[in-house]
Amino acid sequence: MFFNSIDFAVFLPIIFVLYWFVAHKNIKLQNLLIVVASYVFYGWWDWRFLSLILFSTIVDYSVGIGLKKQDEKWKRKALLWTSILVNLGFLGFFKYYNFFLDNFVSAFSFFGSPINSNSLDIVLPVGISFYTFQTLSYTIDVYKKKLEPTRDFIAFSAFVSFFPQLVAGPIERATNLLPQFYKNRRFDYHKAVDGLRQILWGLFKKMVIADNAAEMANQIFNHSAGYSGSTLVLGALFFAFQIYGDFSGYSDIAIGTSRLFGFDLMKNFAFPYFSRDIAEFWRRWHISLSTWFRDYLYIPLGGSRGDIRIKIRNIFIIFIVSGFWHGANWTFIIWGALNAIYFLPLMLLRKNRVNTNVVAQGKYLPSVKEFLNISVTFVFTLLAWIFFRAENVGHAWSYLSTIFSRSIFTVPSVVGNRHSLLIIFFIVAFIVVEWFGREDQYAIARFGLKWKRPVRHAMYYSIIAMIFWFGGSEQQFIYFQF
Amino acid sequence: MKLLLKKIVLFLLVPVIVTVSLFIYFGAPPPKLSTSVSFDAKMHFMKKNYSNTPVDILAFGSSICLNNSYSTSIIKESKNNRFLNISSWGQNMKENYNLLKIFAKIHKPTTVLLVSNYIDFADKNKQIKYDLLDEYVSNTKPTIYYYLQDLKIKYLLWNAIRLHFYKKVDNRFGYLKYDKHGSVRIPLKKPAVSDAIWEGHKLKKGYFSNVTQYLYLDSISKYCLSHQIKLFYILSPFREGYYSRLGNQELALLNNLTGKLRSILSKNNAYFVNTLNIVWPDSLFLDYSHFNKLGAKKFTEHFLKEMKKEQLLRKVYKTEIEGVIDTAKIVMRKTG
């Protein structure tokens, strides 16, 4: 069920009431309720894939117990690799089987030996890329002895399947989330209210910004051959806000919902479009995934230690794998490689940790230099997003070549359209609100808190009215396809 | 916890009260049976006023049938009150056929009118949920069930507001206040239509070459034949100013259409009434193809006369043919 659906609007209050009224005195009962609710939530899409998540849970729980009992290095490694192979095996099969098969066949055809193959009609289980990484973080941390393995199967199942973040993150670390399932959770009124505000903002980002931007982006990308360069630039801009509004909106709803149940999830987005360089962008965009790759892939490979070739190799591996994680298409790999190219100079010149604070902290406006840096970083990101969104590499190239043609100097064809002007207005207003809220957890975290209650409530009603009236035609959350 | 729940309930009460108040003020909209507000409104009208009522004459079509059929004249001519106009904006032949199957079953008509022109052969799609519609007009479940099937509050509220204005504002082209029989008469001679609507669009080949829609007309006529229903197809005209501007190519397209229609209908014993052969002054029209109230009256009276003529001609023709056959039989018997 989607967060912005009537099903979820009925589901959430029921679970909330049961959690705090019926199960509140017993932590095991609360965890069990979370497991049941999470399995119902996940099964709502397709009950057949419950077996996958259950199997993955059982394997990793058993691996954790086994790692506790084993001292011999090779046995511990074997257990770890069992977990890695099972989880990545499922991921590889469901997500990448057809991609590898098709490319294998193409390669043979290219060399003059065509072979027959049958692509499988594989349905990608929702959220598989997220929960497999989440459980892997558990087994890897237990292996490294950073975390004590749990004997509480219900708590572990709740950690793996926790419904607010199950299908599109944030990808939680066992060290952060699992211990929260052992602690008694007391209802915190202010935390719950803050969670509701974050849910509201997340819904606004998803339904008003992302879904409306998606309509325009889809129209332009799907018919890009018929548009001028300037219109294609607009299309890329719409996509940039579609993916940001969609994904960060989902994260806000996930984090806000978790807070209703007394859980604290990690921040997943920290206003990435205000980044002053690419390194900062990657510290602010999909933080849970980029830190996962940093800790479980980049650092074990050597990180930024070693000679220049190792550093370059590691950067490319990280970004290309990150791109590949998003989907089985060469466009994602190129998107990743592009980001590696952007990042490399900063790393080699040791300028990748220059901008670590919030831009224009304590000020209303950025300096000219900051504004230029933000703009340049955004333009580079935008060019990369074109590969991310394009159907295939050829589409991306033709899209880019039209942008870099004389038609970029024409007036975009969608500009006269009232609907597109309305969306542009919303995006501009959204950027302003995000700018003024950039020092907080989410843009409206402190917005209006000091106002009188009627005025504050009027603001909430305005946001609800905008969601109700201007919410775009329903689009699936983008990251569900990953 | 209880404090939070109490505050949430009170907070949500405001938008709920506002939404309910808006529905009360603007009136309950029809449930979402399709993607067309006009279609849903017509079905709602049918259910409210004509559920399970036998009807002698059913009319199907698009806005052409909706605006151009003058209910009073039809009632007067048929000498009973049993006429129903089941048309809505943009209703094409495919939709007419599917609706005929549903409504003929309920109302058991003896006559079906299709008041139409070329525009009704376009492939527009209202995404009608026919199974749900069948249940809805047959009154098999409570009305609330149909609202819950596709509960989009925003869609329903927007439709409620639109329909409220469509029913009130009678000098606009999109007027939707039905008379007792489901037709719509726009009172003024020339309402506030734009120049583009008054001038009308160019006839293009694409409007006439949609094979599927013609097949549906064939299906309609076959259905009527097999259920002993008299089918009359009335080819609705254009205003004089529009028609006189048509070039040779466009006239050829219209002639082609006329020929095609005549052929499909006569094959299935249906009647074809062509009103394009008469000059219809601009003063009778709202735009290039929709009549105003006076125009609709004159047009309806005209096609009713033509329908009588066609039936008479066919009777005479049938009698003559039967006479010839009888004579031939006698001759054959005598000559052995």
The DSSP line for A360-381 is: TTT-SS--HHHHHHHHHHHHHH
Greatest mean pLDDT among A95-99, A138-142, A167-171 lies in A138-142
The answer, for A22 touching chain B at a CB cutoff of 8 Å, is: no
Out of A187, A218, A234, pick the residue that ends a domain: A187
Name which of A20, A185, A194, A211 to mutate to probe chain B: the one with the most chain B Cβ atoms within 10 A of its Cβ: A20
Nearest partner of A200 among A463, A459, A6, judged by Cα: A463
CA-to-CA separations, B87 to B59, B163, B174, in angstroms, rounded: 7, 16, 14
Average pLDDT estimate for B65-92 = 89
Nearest partner of A459 among A468, A448, A467, judged by Cα: A448
For A313, residues 6+ apart whose C-beta sits below 8 A from its C-beta are A301
- Chain A partners within 8 Å of B147 (Cβ): none
Out of A136, A157, A187, pick the residue that ends a domain: A187
- Give the DSSP letter of residue A256: H
Tell whether A289 is covered by a domain: no
Chain B's closest residue to A188, CA to CA, is B1
Residues A182 and A252 in one domain: no
Chain B's closest residue to A262, CA to CA, is B1
Beta-carbon count within 10 A of A212 CB:
26
Residue A62: what are its φ and ψ, rounded to 5°?
A: -65, -40
Residue A242 in contact with residue A427, Cβ under 8 Å? no
Domain count of the fold of chain A: 2
The answer, for A85 touching chain B at a CB cutoff of 8 Å, is: no
Beta-carbon count within 10 A of A91 CB:
20
Strands B271-274 and B230-235: parallel
Amino acid at residue number A150: T
Q: A207-216, A299-308, B278-287, B321-330: which range is least confident on average? A: B321-330
pLDDT tens for B222-249 read 999 999 999 999 999 999 999 888 888 8
Shortest alpha-carbon distance between residue B10 and chain A (Å): 11
Amino acid at residue number B48: K
Name which of B2, B3, B4 to mutate to probe chain A: the one with the most chain A Cβ atoms within 10 A of its Cβ: B4
Tell whether A286 is covered by a domain: no
pLDDT tens for A422-456 read 999 999 999 999 999 999 999 999 988 888 999 99
> What pLDDT does residue A169 have?
85
> What pLDDT does residue A251 have?
95
Distance CA A9, CA A1 (A): 10
Average pLDDT estimate for B81-94 = 90
Residues A240 and A98 in one domain: no
Beta-carbon count within 10 A of A96 CB:
16
Residue A257 in contact with residue A38, Cβ under 8 Å? no
Tell whether A336 is covered by a domain: no
Binned at pLDDT 50, 70 and 90, residue A321 comes out as very high
| H runs (alpha helix) in A223-307 | 229-260, 278-284, 287-293
Residue with tokens 């050597």: A302
Strand partners, B115: B234
- Chain A partners within 8 Å of B1 (Cβ): 20-21, 187, 189
Strands B57-61 and B111-116: parallel
Shortest alpha-carbon distance between residue B212 and chain A (Å): 27
> What pLDDT does residue A116 have?
63
For A240, residues 6+ apart whose C-beta sits below 8 A from its C-beta are A273, A378, A381, A382, A385
> What pLDDT does residue B59 have?
95
pLDDT tens for A42-78 read 999 888 889 989 999 999 999 999 999 988 999 999 9
Nearest partner of A386 among A368, A369, A404, judged by Cα: A404
Strands B57-61 and B271-274: unpaired
Distance CA B262, CA B259 (A): 5
Tell whether A214 is covered by a domain: yes
Beta-carbon count within 10 A of B332 CB:
9
CA-to-CA separations, A49 to A42, A57, A58, in angstroms, rounded: 8, 13, 14
| Residue B80 in this model has a pLDDT that exceeds 80 | no
Q: B103-112, B166-175, B247-256: which range is least confident on average? A: B166-175
The answer, for B11 touching chain A at a CB cutoff of 8 Å, is: yes
> What pLDDT does residue A254 have?
96
CA gyration radius, chain B: 23
For B46, residues 6+ apart whose C-beta sits below 8 A from its C-beta are B84, B86, B103, B137, B182
Contact flag B153-A192 (C-beta cutoff 8 Å): no
The answer, for B14 touching chain A at a CB cutoff of 8 Å, is: yes
Calculate the CA A286 to chain-centre distance. Answer: 5
Residues A257 and A379 in one domain: yes
Residue A260's Cβ-side half-sphere holds a number of Cα atoms within 13 Å equal to 26
Strands B111-116 and B230-235: parallel
Beta-carbon count within 10 A of A335 CB:
27
Residue A369 in contact with residue A363, Cβ under 8 Å? no
Of chain A, the percentage scoring pLDDT greater than 70 comes to 95
Distance CA A396, CA A373 (A): 25
Of chain B, the percentage scoring pLDDT greater than 70 comes to 91
Shortest alpha-carbon distance between residue B4 and chain A (Å): 7
- Chain B partners within 8 Å of A6 (Cβ): 151
Out of A136, A164, A187, pick the residue that ends a domain: A187
Greatest mean pLDDT among A258-272, A412-426, B112-126 lies in A258-272
Cβ-Cβ contacts under 8 Å between A and B: the total is 23
Name which of A19, A185, A190, A196 to mutate to probe chain B: the one with the most chain B Cβ atoms within 10 A of its Cβ: A196
The answer, for B10 touching chain A at a CB cutoff of 8 Å, is: no
CA angle A110, A111, A116 (to 5 degrees): 70
The answer, for A464 touching chain B at a CB cutoff of 8 Å, is: yes
A268-295 per-residue burial string, b: 16 or more CB within 10 A, e: under 16: bbbbbbbbbbbbbbbbbbbbbbbbbbeb
| Residue B190 in this model has a pLDDT that exceeds 60 | no
Distance CA B243, CA B235 (A): 14
Show the domain range for A230: 196-276+355-481
Amino acid at residue number A241: F
Distance CA A191, CA A195 (A): 6
Tell whether A325 is covered by a domain: no
> What pLDDT does residue B313 have?
75
Distance CA B89, CA B174 (A): 9
Top-confidence residue, B192 or A105:
A105
Contact flag A460-B14 (C-beta cutoff 8 Å): no
- The tokens for B101 are 């199957």
Tell whether A349 is covered by a domain: no
Distance CA A377, CA A384 (A): 11
Residues A388 and A441 in one domain: yes
Distance CA B282, CA B198 (A): 10
Average pLDDT estimate for A99-120 = 70
The answer, for A20 touching chain B at a CB cutoff of 8 Å, is: yes
Residues A205 and A167 in one domain: no
CA dihedral B216, B218, B223, B225 (to 10 degrees): 160
> What pLDDT does residue B171 have?
62
Residue B279 in contact with residue B240, Cβ under 8 Å? yes
Residues A91 and A226 in one domain: no
Contact flag B4-A460 (C-beta cutoff 8 Å): no
Average pLDDT estimate for A227-235 = 94
Residues A175 and A215 in one domain: no
pLDDT tens for B3-14 read 898 999 999 999
Residues A93 and A242 in one domain: no
Amino acid at residue number B45: F
Binned at pLDDT 50, 70 and 90, residue B111 comes out as very high
Residues A147 and A201 in one domain: no
pLDDT tens for A352-388 read 899 999 999 989 999 999 999 999 999 999 999 999 9
Average pLDDT estimate for A323-351 = 92
Residues A30 and A58 in one domain: yes
- One-letter-per-residue 3-state SS of chain B: CHHHHHHHHHHHHHHHHHHHHHHHHHCCCCCCCCCCHHHHHHHHHHHHHHCCCCCCEEEEECHHHHHHCCHHHHHHHHCCCCEEEEECCCCCHHHHHHHHHHHHHHHCCCEEEEEECHHHHCCCCCCCCHHHHHHHHCCCCCHHHHHHHCCCHHHHHHHHHHHHHHHHCCCCCCCCCECCCCCECCCCCCCCCCHHHHHCCCCCHHHCCCHHHHHHHHHHHHHHHHCCCEEEEEECCCCHHHHCCCCHHHHHHHHHHHHHHHHHHHHCCCEEEECCCCCCCHHHECCCCCECHHHHHHHHHHHHHHHHHHHHHHHHHHHHHHHHHHHHHHHHHHHC
| Residue B37 in this model has a pLDDT that exceeds 70 | yes
A297-316 per-residue burial string, b: 16 or more CB within 10 A, e: under 16: ebeeeebeeeeeeebeebbb
ipTM over 0.90: no
Distance CA B276, CA B294 (A): 18
Sign of the alpha-carbon dihedral angle for B128, B129, B131, B137: negative
Shortest alpha-carbon distance between residue B132 and chain A (Å): 21
Strand partners, B291: B285
Distance CA B4, CA A197 (A): 13
Question: Which residues of A carry out catalysis?
Answer: 326
Residues A225 and A112 in one domain: no
Nearest to A189 among B4, B11, B153 (CB): B4
Residues A99 and A150 in one domain: yes
| Residue B91 in this model has a pLDDT that exceeds 80 | yes
Strand partners, B230: B111
Tell whether A285 is covered by a domain: no
CA-to-CA separations, A39 to A152, A175, A187, A215, A478, in angstroms, rounded: 18, 23, 23, 32, 22
Tell whether A341 is covered by a domain: no
| Residue A473 in this model has a pLDDT that exceeds 80 | no
Residue with tokens 């209050």: A13
> What pLDDT does residue B281 have?
93
| Residue A114 in this model has a pLDDT that exceeds 90 | no
For A168, residues 6+ apart whose C-beta sits below 8 A from its C-beta are A127, A130, A247, A250, A251, A254, A477, A479, A480, A482
Name which of A22, A260, A468 to mutate to probe chain B: the one with the most chain B Cβ atoms within 10 A of its Cβ: A468
For A383, residues 6+ apart whose C-beta sits below 8 A from its C-beta are A236, A338, A400
Beta-carbon count within 10 A of B155 CB:
15
Q: A331-335, B80-84, B216-220: which range is least confident on average? A: B80-84
Residue B233: what are its φ and ψ, rounded to 5°?
A: -100, 120
Peptide bond just before A170 cis, omega within 30 deg: yes
> What pLDDT does residue A107 have?
75
> What pLDDT does residue A59 have?
95
